Amino acid sequence: MHSPGGKVSGYVALMIVQIIFLVLFWLFVRYEKELLPPAIDAEDAGSAKEHVSKYPQFQDIQVMIFIGFGFLMTFLRKYGYSATGFTLFMAALVVQWSVLMKGFLHMEDGKISLSLENIIDADIAAAVPLISMGALLGRTTPIQLLCMSIFEVALFAANEYLALNVFSICDCGGSITVHAFGAYFGLAVALMLRPSSDQNEAGKLEGASYTSDIFAMIGTTFLWVYWPSFNSVLAEGAGGERAILNTFLSLAAATVTTFVVSALVSHENKLDMVHVQNSTLAGGVAVGTVCNLLLGVHGAVLIGIIAGTVSVLGYRYLTPWMTANLRLHDTCGVHNLHGMPALISAIASAIYASMVTVGDYRSELQDIFPAMVGTNGTETKIMGGLARNASSQAGYQLLGIAVTLLIAIGGGILTGVVLKYTSFRNLKKDEHHQDEHYWEVPAVENKEE
Amino acid sequence: MHSPGGKVSGYVALMIVQIIFLVLFWLFVRYEKELLPPAIDAEDAGSAKEHVSKYPQFQDIQVMIFIGFGFLMTFLRKYGYSATGFTLFMAALVVQWSVLMKGFLHMEDGKISLSLENIIDADIAAAVPLISMGALLGRTTPIQLLCMSIFEVALFAANEYLALNVFSICDCGGSITVHAFGAYFGLAVALMLRPSSDQNEAGKLEGASYTSDIFAMIGTTFLWVYWPSFNSVLAEGAGGERAILNTFLSLAAATVTTFVVSALVSHENKLDMVHVQNSTLAGGVAVGTVCNLLLGVHGAVLIGIIAGTVSVLGYRYLTPWMTANLRLHDTCGVHNLHGMPALISAIASAIYASMVTVGDYRSELQDIFPAMVGTNGTETKIMGGLARNASSQAGYQLLGIAVTLLIAIGGGILTGVVLKYTSFRNLKKDEHHQDEHYWEVPAVENKEE
Amino acid sequence: MHSPGGKVSGYVALMIVQIIFLVLFWLFVRYEKELLPPAIDAEDAGSAKEHVSKYPQFQDIQVMIFIGFGFLMTFLRKYGYSATGFTLFMAALVVQWSVLMKGFLHMEDGKISLSLENIIDADIAAAVPLISMGALLGRTTPIQLLCMSIFEVALFAANEYLALNVFSICDCGGSITVHAFGAYFGLAVALMLRPSSDQNEAGKLEGASYTSDIFAMIGTTFLWVYWPSFNSVLAEGAGGERAILNTFLSLAAATVTTFVVSALVSHENKLDMVHVQNSTLAGGVAVGTVCNLLLGVHGAVLIGIIAGTVSVLGYRYLTPWMTANLRLHDTCGVHNLHGMPALISAIASAIYASMVTVGDYRSELQDIFPAMVGTNGTETKIMGGLARNASSQAGYQLLGIAVTLLIAIGGGILTGVVLKYTSFRNLKKDEHHQDEHYWEVPAVENKEE
């Protein structure tokens, strides 16, 4: 409407994308064999049941993606339609794209087999651009967001493949591949899209109202409650239950710490809702990569305490500094909720990996650290000696986070350049953080309320 | 108070209904045998566990009924107490009534056996009058709503019995028996209760506020997330997992389509919250009847795209036309969210049924299309030939939707006549869409906010 | 800051508590043996799976604690940050404390074994101080609340041990040990903290706004929906499914009754949101202690009807009387939601216990009423005769509630005295029910909205 890449053409392009998805599904995606009706004289239908046992955890993750992320971002006083609506839009697009992208990396006979596992993976992938969206919230058009998410998820799938399948790092809850990637990609895009000049202070709409802050608490509490499902869904056996317990306790410790540190560092020692909405969750991110390891309960609690502290201090001191000195507005503070806690998780993973022994991990070693057993790992091999020793594994963990940062930041800068300098329409400063540029907003609002 | 059938007498009547329920439970309902303590030397308690494996899906459906429907209807600016409160009231009454009604159709030795399955069925039945309530929202008294729901659920149970047990149609997710029935029944009641004259435009309270729209998104997102549980809860084995996948992908495709079409057809190409709140869900309805069939993934996506498109166009063009020309206010647009998408689902079911072969459906044929196997269906029978051929089954699917429409519209007209011309109190035009006629509303509101 | 025991010192003390927890976890808590990796040649990992089958119910309870309680208390117009925030803070502290406290009562070899069961128990324990918080809402500092919760949970664990392990009462859904304890403890604290003089009427902020009432309905509906999980999580086998059905039907009957009675007793026969938000849930409390017994479906419905009636009448007549005559402000009316319904549940448990026979309960007798079988209960023993007869068991049920009330009220008075007369800062009357004394509140609020 306004310009090439403006409103109508962008939406039309997205419809074409949806239709391309339809064609790709038709050409390449089939139900997994176990989902087809069994033969009349077949005896067991065991495999289908195996998947479905993860269905409740899948639903918890669905709530995190659609309600958790969506409502967490409603804290802006005039951006609630966009927060909940664009979350829904982006997630709906990304889950389809992710089924295809990740499927292409694991095709059999030229076809992608679809089962519940694929859409669990797709939901996890949807978290990535939603994290990035938090860094940009209110300063992009929906078309920019959606295009970013398509680039980003493709890069995410490649980086995840590299980290998990090539470097064989452990990353059970995805802090490295999901949280660090999403956060630094988003920050890099935000850096590229920053306005050329800027007041030091945030725009008047870049803040909460009393009601919007309570809406955001819906997001926070659902993310808090279901975080153990996110971290444990890909873990197996006893490791899955350890992942649940470690995540729960890390969150609890991070929450207590967040309240205390928030009161200590805030103006007049009053609690700050931004900290409560976000830093309480940092414990879930920081324990993510290591949540299925033998941390000991105290390990999980300690990680939570560190994460809560770092996250609150980040909101209090680092974010304003970045805004003032780098003109980098990280609207939701994803650096403090996802970025730094993910770095903590990566470092913790190197420390714990360096202490791994066959005596401790026994039959789970194959599953958690497959490279230590060897690609053709057999039980004999484990007992004989490790294919990759503990210090090497620790090194690979650090390599994993380093390469992730590199790809995320590089990809983010590139994406930012594309979004800024090609035909996409950019928002002007005075259009930021306002629903009304993209939504019909009730007119009665201004008069009566 | 005001008149016979006015406030107090209506509530007293409902208390009497509750006490009648108590007596009927006492006389007719018993725990299922498997829920009684096993004998001391009994070996297995397998059956109880079998039911309980559906408990997580039951809870998802509970959230859809009580939170999903309730909050979806909070979009009206001054009707939030009624939306959430009457949903709770109606659902609590209907689940009891439905256990009794549906139980009477399946008694053994003059008793109804109660297990988790019965209350799953009851929750599904509760969806029916809640859908109808959407067509009437804000234009009835609570007593009218509750009485309507008692008539409606009885008729629903009869129609469902006819469709599933007599016509043997497939309707896994209930789009024909639940969605089409609820929508057209509600629209027929709305037609009967319409005011004798009307301004063309909606009343000033028949709209959203910024806050009420965000409350409504709570409903939308929970319905979105848990819809696969609603559609799959009655499916068995591999069909259950197909139902989950097809519903999920249809919803995703409908969501992307909704945003695009909403922007293309709306004023100034701005997105419309009404579309986002409702049409995104049309994919779940449209795939409902066929969700456990071998649609192919692309089939589910295609259905979602069609449903999203039809639903948005319905909101944009058909609903205003019906208001203007028929004086039919469909407050929540249930025709666009439930009615038309259910018709799409019925047509899709005829198409897919016409292509059914024994080679494709194998051992699931008995479960999904029992009439094609025959009432005494044995494996030999299946292999020998079909008791009802594929084209006949397609015909029965169309018969199913036709009879459902007939009963729903006929029943709705009758119910509407009873509610309008007997001693029930009717709301006047200026009492519409306001909580304060039935609720204590904080007085402070007007002064301070 | 203001005084000894003022803001900063209180928060610092809580940080020290968190660090003490860390040390205690390190010294005493270990993963349960089944959570360690199995030996390489081990054959089954069955036990871990057994726990994890309760994971979906655990998650439902998490939602009740963090979202349910938190949002139910957002009904105050200017206390939403505190309602949701302090719920999160308190629950995060209490779950850790409860794992330790309850663990110390069941140590093996000087260590606490941690599994999913412990954090299910911890979530249930978190409900106790949250119930008490409802009686005090808006009239304490957060430091007072948190300190109260530490005392209270220790006493709760002791009382629960006494009731369940010494008196061997049945209390499946915890109405005696959780609801009665939490409610009367909180009321006793409130009595101690009441201001020395008082206007008869509530402060102007001790009420709802239109928006805050709808936020509260989020809490109500989630509590309603997931209550069957709370009541059934500790039940075994068929008893678990009976607990689900009885709780569901009791809630439904209480809900219908609540609406009717609310309309009948309220001003101008208008419905009161306070009743709808709270009394609808009384059915869940009143059926709690007996939910796994052979009530018959009609028994559950009858209990729901009684609970709904008593609860609404309590809100309408008893609470204002207590405020006027005892200066006891029960902000959320926990006496009507938790206190009286729990007494009903205790009485019901005595009645049903007095009718227990071996013929009815068969193999479940050992599990539900272990003292009737005897501590060394064998099957022969059951068949030979009951170690404790039915009337004695009924007597013990009454003893259980009596001792619970004694300990709760005594402990609450003591705690109240400590909170009032030691160095804790107390809120002044004009600081009540306002977030802004403890939270940064958006300044823009007063100007624009």
Tokens of B431: 């009492």
- Does C208 sit within 8 Å of B21, measured CB to CB? no
Domain ranges for chain A? 7-31+56-195+207-353+389-426
Residues of A in contact with B267 (CB under 8 A): 440
Q: Does B214 touch chain C (CB under 8 A)?
A: no
Q: Contact partners of C by the rule of 3+ C-beta pairs under 8 A?
A: A, B
Q: Does A12 touch chain B (CB under 8 A)?
A: yes
In this prediction, residue C291 carries a pLDDT of 97
**Helix or strand holding residue A112 (H, E):** strand A112-114
Residues of C in contact with A226 (CB under 8 A): 59, 62
Strands (E), C19-146: 29-31, 112-114
Q: Does C206 touch chain B (CB under 8 A)?
A: no
Region for B5 from its dihedrals, namely left if φ exceeds 0, alpha if ψ lies in -120 to 50, beta otherwise: left
Tokens of B241: 């997992």
In this prediction, residue C437 carries a pLDDT of 87
Calculate the average pLDDT of chain A.
90
Q: How far apart are CA A285 and CA A344, in angstroms?
A: 9
What is the torsion angle, in degrees rounded to the nearest 10, for the CA atoms of residue A372, residue A376, residue A377 and residue A383? -100
DSSP secondary structure letters along C48-64: HHHHHTTHHHHHHHHII
Q: How far apart are CA A62 and CA C59, in angstroms?
A: 14
When the candidates are 3.40.50.970, 1.10.3430.10, 1.10.3720.10, 3.40.50.11720, the CATH number that belongs to C7-30+54-196+209-353+389-426 is: 1.10.3430.10
Q: How far apart are CA A206 and CA A286, in angstroms?
A: 27
Q: Does C294 touch chain A (CB under 8 A)?
A: no
Q: How far apart are CA A231 and CA A174, in angstroms?
A: 7
* Predicted complex ipTM: 0.94
Q: What is the pLDDT along chain B (449 residues), one digit of tens a residue?
A: 344 345 788 999 999 999 999 999 999 999 999 999 988 776 555 545 556 789 999 999 999 999 999 999 999 999 999 999 999 999 999 999 999 999 998 898 999 999 999 999 999 999 999 999 999 999 999 999 999 999 999 999 999 999 999 999 999 999 999 999 999 999 999 999 987 765 544 566 788 999 999 999 999 999 999 999 999 999 988 999 999 999 999 999 999 999 999 999 998 899 999 999 999 999 999 999 999 999 999 999 999 999 999 999 999 999 999 999 999 989 999 999 999 999 999 999 999 999 999 999 988 998 999 999 865 444 444 445 568 899 999 999 999 999 999 999 999 999 999 998 887 778 887 888 889 889 999 875 544 43
In this prediction, residue B3 carries a pLDDT of 42
Distances (CA, A) of B192 to B185, B188, B196, B416, C371: 11, 6, 10, 5, 63
Under 8 Å between Cβ of A116 and A52: yes
Strands (E), A261-364: none
Please report which confidence band the pLDDT of residue A421 belongs to, taking 50, 70 and 90 as the band edges: confident
Q: Does A52 touch chain C (CB under 8 A)?
A: no
pLDDT tens track for A428-446:
878 888 898 899 998 755 4
CA angle, residues C6, C9, C11, in degrees to nearest 5: 100
Residues of B in contact with A88 (CB under 8 A): 220-221, 224, 255, 276, 280
Under 8 Å between Cβ of C39 and A250: no
Helix (H, G, I), strand (E, B) or coil at C113: strand
Burial state string for B347-366 with b = 16 or more CB within 10 A and e = fewer than 16: bbbbebbeebebeebbbbbb
Inform me whether the pLDDT recorded for A381 exceeds 90: no
In this prediction, residue B200 carries a pLDDT of 44
- Does C31 sit within 8 Å of A242, measured CB to CB? yes
- In single-letter form, the type of residue at position B291 comes to C
Closest by CA position to B34, among listed B20, B57, B21, B51: B51
Helix (H, G, I), strand (E, B) or coil at C114: strand
Tokens of C357: 């026979």
The predicted model gives A265-279 an average pLDDT of: 94
Q: How far apart are CA C193 and CA C195, in angstroms?
A: 6
Closest by CA position to A424, among listed A86, A18, A148: A148
In this prediction, residue B386 carries a pLDDT of 67
Q: How far apart are CA C439 and CA A268, in angstroms?
A: 9
In this prediction, residue A207 carries a pLDDT of 87
Tokens of B282: 């049309």
Q: Is B1 exposed, middle or buried (0-12, 13-18, 19+ CB in 10 A)?
A: exposed
pLDDT tens track for C297-343:
999 999 999 999 999 999 999 999 999 999 998 999 999 999 999 99
- Does C1 sit within 8 Å of A363, measured CB to CB? no
Least confident of A207-216, A371-380, B327-336, C177-186: A371-380
The predicted model gives C286-300 an average pLDDT of: 96
List the single residue in B38, B51, B78 with the smallest CB-CB distance to C362. B38
Closest by CA position to B56, among listed A62, C121, C415: A62
Beta strands A112-114; A29-31: pairing state? parallel
The predicted model gives A228-256 an average pLDDT of: 96
Q: Does A396 touch chain C (CB under 8 A)?
A: no
What is the torsion angle, in degrees rounded to the nearest 10, for the CA atoms of residue A434, residue A438, residue A443 and residue A446? 0
pLDDT tens track for B341-361:
999 999 999 999 999 999 999
Q: Does B150 touch chain C (CB under 8 A)?
A: no
Q: What is the CATH number of domain B55-353+389-427?
A: 1.10.3430.10
Interface test with B, best of A63, A439, A447 (most B CBs within 10 A): A439
Q: Contact partners of A by the rule of 3+ C-beta pairs under 8 A?
A: B, C
Interface test with C, best of A266, A298, A302 (most C CBs within 10 A): A298
Q: How many CB atoms lie within 10 A of CB B111?
A: 12
List the single residue in A255, A273, A302 with the smallest CB-CB distance to C81. A273
Interface test with A, best of B245, B247, B369 (most A CBs within 10 A): B245
The predicted model gives A295-316 an average pLDDT of: 97
Q: How far apart are CA B316 and CA B318, in angstroms?
A: 6
- Residues paired with C271 in a beta bridge: B439
- Which residue has tokens 């206010």? B329
In this prediction, residue B377 carries a pLDDT of 42
What is the torsion angle, in degrees rounded to the nearest 10, for the CA atoms of residue C337, residue C339, residue C341 and residue C342? 130
pLDDT tens track for A218-235:
999 999 999 999 999 999
- Which residue has tokens 């007049």? A268
Residues of chain A numbered 310-329 and touching chain C (CB < 8 Å): none
The predicted model gives A291-314 an average pLDDT of: 97
Tokens of C119: 């954090």
Tokens of B113: 């056996």
Residues of B in contact with A434 (CB under 8 A): none
Region for B356 from its dihedrals, namely left if φ exceeds 0, alpha if ψ lies in -120 to 50, beta otherwise: beta
Under 8 Å between Cβ of A230 and A290: no
In this prediction, residue A1 carries a pLDDT of 40
Residues of chain B numbered 268-287 and touching chain A (CB < 8 Å): 269-273, 276, 280
Under 8 Å between Cβ of A245 and A273: no
- Which residue has tokens 């020793």? A389
Q: Does A221 touch chain B (CB under 8 A)?
A: no
List the single residue in C249, C294, C362 with the smallest CB-CB distance to B96. C249
In this prediction, residue A203 carries a pLDDT of 63
In this prediction, residue B235 carries a pLDDT of 92
- Which residue has tokens 């039940």? C235
- The length of chain A, given as a count of residues: 449
Instruction: Kindly report the three-state secondary structure assignment for every residue of chain B.
Output: CCCCCCHHHHHHHHHHHHHHHHHHHHHHEEECHHHCCCCCCCCCCHHHHHHHCCHHHHHHHHHHHHHHHHHHHHHCCCCHHHHHHHHHHHHHHHHHHHHHHHHHCCCECCEEEECHHHHHHHHHHHHHHHHHHHHHCCCCCHHHHHHHHHHHHHHHHHHHHHHHHHCCCCCCCCHHHHHHHHHHHHHHHHHHHCCCCCCCCCCCCCCCCHHHHHHHHHHHHHHHHHHHHHHHCCCCHHHHHHHHHHHHHHHHHHHHHHHHHHHHHCHHHCECHHHHHHHHHHHHHHCCCCCCCCCCHHHHHHHHHHHHHHHHHHHHHHHHHHHHHHCCCCCCCHHHHHHHHHHHHHHHHHHHHCCCCHHHHHHHHHHHCHHHHCCCCCHHHHHHCCCCCHHHHHHHHHHHHHHHHHHHHHHHHHHHHHHHHCCCCCCCHHHCCCHHHCECCCCHHHHHC
In this prediction, residue B380 carries a pLDDT of 42
Under 8 Å between Cβ of C337 and C385: no
Share of chain A above pLDDT 70, in %: 90
In this prediction, residue A437 carries a pLDDT of 87
Q: How many CB atoms lie within 10 A of CB A359?
A: 8
Name the fold adopted by A7-31+56-195+207-353+389-426: Ammonium transporter fold (1.10.3430)
Share of chain C above pLDDT 70, in %: 90
Inform me whether the pLDDT recorded for C27 exceeds 70: yes
Under 8 Å between Cβ of C358 and C382: yes
Please report which confidence band the pLDDT of residue C422 belongs to, taking 50, 70 and 90 as the band edges: confident
- Does B259 sit within 8 Å of A11, measured CB to CB? yes
In this prediction, residue B289 carries a pLDDT of 97
Inform me whether the pLDDT recorded for A205 exceeds 80: no
Q: Does A208 touch chain C (CB under 8 A)?
A: yes
Q: How far apart are CA C145 and CA C141, in angstroms?
A: 6
Inform me whether the pLDDT recorded for C246 exceeds 60: yes
Tokens of C213: 């009432």
In this prediction, residue B43 carries a pLDDT of 59
Q: Does A35 touch chain B (CB under 8 A)?
A: yes
Residues of chain C numbered 56-75 and touching chain B (CB < 8 Å): 56-57, 60
